[in-house]
Amino acid sequence: MSEKVILIDGAGWGDLILGVVVGALNLDLPDARYMERRIPIASFQSPHFENRKYLDNAVQIADRIIEVMQPDVKTTFKVCSGFVFSSICEYLRGRGFRVEEVESTGELQEKVEQGYIRWCKERGVPVERLEDKGRFWTFLEWVAERPELREKLVKTGWASWKKKWREKALSMHALKGGIA
């Protein structure tokens, strides 16, 4: 029996809005089975962000990956490096699996990125705002157009949102006359 590999990666961690899409790709099945789940935006807002709720969500997703993908003792999980995945790595190791931390690239990165973009579209972000991978300013401008409606989609638990970016969005809104 050969070694099985399941890749885990995510998208949205550094983006201003929504949560994080976590995806898993089992390379050893003929159809290269893919699944994704979302860490909700609420986990990136107070008080959940300060309590690192997103790490608990990540572990729940890892548990679901195990349930769906049915790894065995010869399975190696290749998990994208990054803080949000630290709890996944710890959890999988605790369950006795081999875990390697890797850089995100390739097919899985594309799939989770598309999952994040789908989520953005579901929440009303215009397609043209999603074309650039460096989306921070684009999202800030979008939130600033209607802050009373869109701030609920922001990772408001971030210290930088509280100290700088919220005020910036509100001033951008005021400069445009408070009109969408």
Tens digits of pLDDT across the chain (180 residues): 457 899 999 999 989 999 999 999 997 766 678 999 999 999 999 999 999 999 999 999 999 999 999 998 889 999 998 888 999 999 999 999 999 999 877 889 999 999 999 999 999 999 988 887 678 999 999 999 999 999 999 999 999 999 999 999 999 888 877 654
pLDDT of residue 52: 95
User: Which CATH architecture is the domain 4-116 placed in?
Assistant: 2-Layer Sandwich (3.30)
| Residue 149: per-residue pLDDT | 93
The residues spanned by each domain of the chain are 4-116, 125-175
- Residue 100 CA to chain centroid, in angstroms? 20
Q: Are 112 and 15 in contact (CB under 8 A)?
A: no
